[in-house]
Amino acid sequence: MHLSGHCVCASDPQFVEEKGIRAEDLVIGALESAFQECDEVIGRELEASGQVGGCTALVAVSLQGKLYVANAGDSRAILVRKDEVRPLSSEFTPETERQRIQQLAFVYPELLAGEFTRLEFPRRLKGDDLGQKVLFRDHHMRGWSYKCVEKSDLKYPLIHGQGRQARLLGTLAVSRGLGDHQLRVLDTNIQLKPFLLSVPQVTVLDVDQLELQEEDVVVMATDGLWDVLSNEQVAQLVRSFLPGNREDPHRFSELAQMLIHSTQGKDDGPTEGQVSYDDISVFVIPLHNQGQRSDGH
C-alpha cells in the first residue's frame, strides 16, 4: 500500500485489513529503516577512512497532515502551544534502557569479557561488602531484591552512575545512536556497539486535529539545552519571545539563538547560573498553516 492507498502487490489488501495497517505505519517503517541503513553506511565509511565516532539523531518529518518525530539518543523534541507543552520524544540512556541492556548481557555474557557485572547495585561494591546483603536488580526485574555479595559482584557495573552521569560500560551516556562501530572500552577489546541501537522511537502528532495558532512551534534540541532548561522553561521563553516579534521574518531562528544563549549562566536568566558546556543545536519549527495545506506536502 502506497501512501496514496494504491496496491503494491496482490496480497496487500487482505493483509493490510487483517493487520490494521495504516498509512502512518508505512512512514514509521520508512524512518526506522532509514536510521538502520544510515547506521550501516556510517559504519562502512568509518571503516574505509579509518575514522571513529558516533552521534545521536533526531528527525521530524511533516507529511499528509501529520508530524513524525524519530529519535535515537538523548536529544529531545517538544510541542509548545499557548496552553500546552507536549513531549514528542523520549531520551534513550543506559538508565532508561537498563533492562534491555542487561538482557543482552544475560543472553550473550561473552560481551562483557569477564570484566563487568550486568547486575545493578545502589553503589559501587567493595571488598568489605563480601558476604553482606545488598539491594540489586537484574534484567527481569523492575523492582529491587536482596542478595549476598559474591566476588563476581565486585566487578565494574555494566551500567554505572545516576541521571546524566549514568554510563554504559563506563564509557557512553546514550544507549541509541548512529556510528561508534569501532568504539571500545578504554584499554580493552570490549565493544560497545552490540549494546547500541540505531532504531528510533517514532512519535506521531496529528497536526490536522490541532487548532494551530501562529506561535505554535516544535523545539528540537540536543542534550546540551535540556541539561539546564526544563520543558516548561523552554516553553516560557518561547511564549515570552514570539508574541512581541511577529513582524520579524527571522524570529524563529532568533528564538533558537536566544535559547542557546539562555544556557550560558546569566544571573538574570532562567538557568540561575547553571551553564551548559556541551555543544548545542536548536531548531524552532513553526507549525501554523502546516495542518491547513491541501497539497499533502
Beta-carbon contacts of 51 under 8 Å, excluding residues fewer than 6 positions away, are: none
pLDDT of residue 276: 83
DSSP string covering 130-191, please? TT-EEEEB-TT-SS-EEEE--GGGGSEESEESSGGG-EETTTBS-SB-EE-TT-B-TTS--B
pLDDT of residue 296: 47
To the nearest 5 percent, what fractions of the chain are helix, strand and coil?
Answer: 35, 25, 45
pLDDT of residue 297: 43
Domain extents in the chain: 23-91+202-286, 97-173
Which residues of the chain register pLDDT less than 50? 291, 293-297
Render pLDDT for 154-190 as a digit per residue (tens, 0 to 9).
999 999 998 888 999 999 999 999 999 999 999 999 9
Render pLDDT for 12-52 as a digit per residue (tens, 0 to 9).
777 778 888 888 999 999 999 999 999 999 999 999 999 98
How far apart, in whole angstroms, are the C-alpha atoms of residue 109 and residue 100? 14
pLDDT of residue 143: 97
The β-bridge relationship of strands 156-157 and 159-160 is: unpaired
Q: Where are the alpha helices (DSSP H) in the chain?
A: 12-19, 23-49, 98-107, 223-226, 231-241, 251-261
Pick among 3.30.590.10, 1.10.287.1080, 3.40.50.620, 3.60.40.10: CATH of 23-91+202-286: 3.60.40.10
| Prediction pTM value | 0.88
161-180 CB burial, b ≥16 within 10 A, e <16? eeeeebbbbbebbbbbbbbb
pLDDT of residue 294: 45
DSSP assignment, residue 204? E
